[in-house]
Amino acid sequence: MDKKLSIKLFVFFCSCLSIILFATTVQSQEKAKYGEDDQCIVCHKDEEILPEDFSEFDIHLQTGLSCKGCHGGDETSDDEDLSMSSEAGFIGVPEKIEIAAMCGKCHSDINFMRQYQPRIATDQVQQYHESVHGKKLAQGDTKVADCTSCHSVHNILPAIDARSTIYALNIPATCKKCHSDKEYMAEYGIPTTQYDEYVESVHGVALLERQDTGAPACNDCHGNHGAMPPGIASIGHICGTCHVNNQEYFSKSKMAIEFQRDELHACEECHGDHDVKKTSDDMIGDSDSSTCVDCHEEGEEAYDTGIKIRQSLGGLVTAYDSAATLLKTVEHAGMDDLEMSYAVKDAKQSLTQARTLVHTFDFEQVKVKTDEGKTFVTQALKLGNTQMQDLRFRRLGFGIATFFMTIVLVALYFKIKDIERED
């Protein structure tokens, strides 16, 4: 019995020990993974001929896919004649046309990729062939982007890594490398001003200045691997992924039908594409910055609708401003602004909604909201004015106190005079 127990214990300890040993060797193996036993890196490092963009953080290098994975050769030999011989399968720099297929060897194979990320997409190569880049490459144009143009060659990092060329904040700069180069793009006859326009746009400012990664970069509208200019039909849907209501209102409006008929781009026609600016109420109506007048002329019914919508928005804005001003006054006077601030907030909300409703191009619908907003403003003004009346009431109280004080003061003065006369 005792013996059995001790044997059991012995076995237990041994297995514990071996697990620990195994774990540590695995760890040390992992540590050794990069560099030491890869003769490609050893020599190229010694000779200082590592690729310019070489990075030890490269995700492939980190997970064990080293030079050989793409270039072939024998990484165990330190004799360059052997290691970089065609017998060893060395291919040198891969042809551009082969690159997508080369990445696809692994990246299109879900059974392989699953080991690293169960949910990873494996349709990148397929999409690439459908993209403008991919199609042109198939036609023999080697100036277009391949995988490495965006992902880099020897410094590939996942999209969530802030150092990556495809991290949301870095994407515009990555596309810009080619698309803002006038000379490079000359033969394609497409503009090269997209980046400059984008950085000034609401989206560019939000992404690049405020670092709001929710804001769209190039790929959010053009797609990643299947990059293409969006077609007429899809523009509304693209903007609509975020601007849901605007898209919904628009698609149900009379305007949408006409747009389709005349092959006009939804959203873009008024807001622009890369250079989307912060909107203003003057985009509607008949002012200089109005976009309605681009198509509609005086005398048309639509023209008048534009003016009416503009006026009802303007009316609410003026009313809202007066309420906001009064709110400041009330606050500044140290009066109770709580109830009023709720009413002002409601008015603001109506205004926001009315502005969204502009996309119905239906004056009646906008008016319902602006009217609602105006009732909130009226309510706010009433509350504010009551507070200010209270303030005036305080002045009345002050007047009463002062009145008595004056009487006491005057009487006291004469009293003192009296006393002093007696002395």
Residues of this chain that bind another protein (CB under 8 A): 212, 214, 242-246, 248, 332-338, 341-342, 345-346, 348-349, 352-353, 356, 394-395, 397-398, 400-405, 407-416, 418-420, 423
- Alpha-carbon distances, residue 244 vs 174, 249, 367 (angstroms): 29, 9, 21
At its nearest, how many Å lie between another protein and the CB of residue 87? 57
Contact assessment for residue 159 and residue 167, using Cβ atoms and an 8 Å cutoff: yes
Distance of CA 231 to the CA centre of its chain: 22
Alpha-carbon distance values, 334 to 187, 253, 379, 394 (Å): 67, 47, 20, 12
Spatial separation of the C-alpha atoms in residues 43 and 133, rounded to whole Å: 36
Residue 209 DSSP code? I
Question: Closer to another protein at the Cβ: 11 or 407?
Answer: 407
Residue (295 or 317) nearer to another protein, CB: 317
Residues 6+ apart with CB under 8 A from 298: 286
For the bound state, the minimum distance from the C-beta of residue 331 to another protein, rounded and expressed in Å, comes to 9
By C-beta, is 218 or 354 nearer to another protein?
354
**Residue with smaller CB distance to another protein, 41 or 343:** 343
> Taking the complex as a whole, how short is the minimal distance between the CB of residue 183 and another protein, in angstroms?
39
Given the complex with another protein, which of 202 and 228 has the nearer CB atom? Answer: 202
Q: Which is nearer to another protein, 9 or 244 (CB)?
A: 244
Residue 264 phi/psi, 5-degree rounding, is -95, 150
Q: Tokens representing 327?
A: 């709110």
CB of 412 to another protein, least distance (A): 5
Q: Which is nearer to another protein, 232 or 244 (CB)?
A: 244
187: amino acid identity, one letter:
E
Cα first-last separation, the chain = 124
237 contacts: CB under 8 Å, gap ≥ 6: 247
* Long-range Cβ pairs for the range 391-397 (8 Å, 24+): 391/333, 391/335
Q: How near is the Cβ of 361 to another protein at its closest, in Å?
A: 18
Contacts of 379 (CB under 8 A, 6+ apart): 343
CB nearer to another protein: pick between 21 and 242: 242
Q: How far is the CB of 388 from another protein (least distance, A)?
A: 13
Q: Which of 33, 108, 46 is nearest to 78 (CA)?
A: 46
CB of 282 to another protein, least distance (A): 19
Nearer CB in complex with another protein: 42/317: 317
Least Å distance, CB 341 to another protein, is: 7
In DSSP notation, 76-140 reads: T---HHHHTSTTTT---SPPHHHHHHHHHHHHT-HHHHTTT-TT----HHHHHHHSHHHHHHHTT
Shortest gap between Cβ of 338 and another protein (angstroms)?
7
* Helix (H), strand (E) counts: the chain: 22, 0
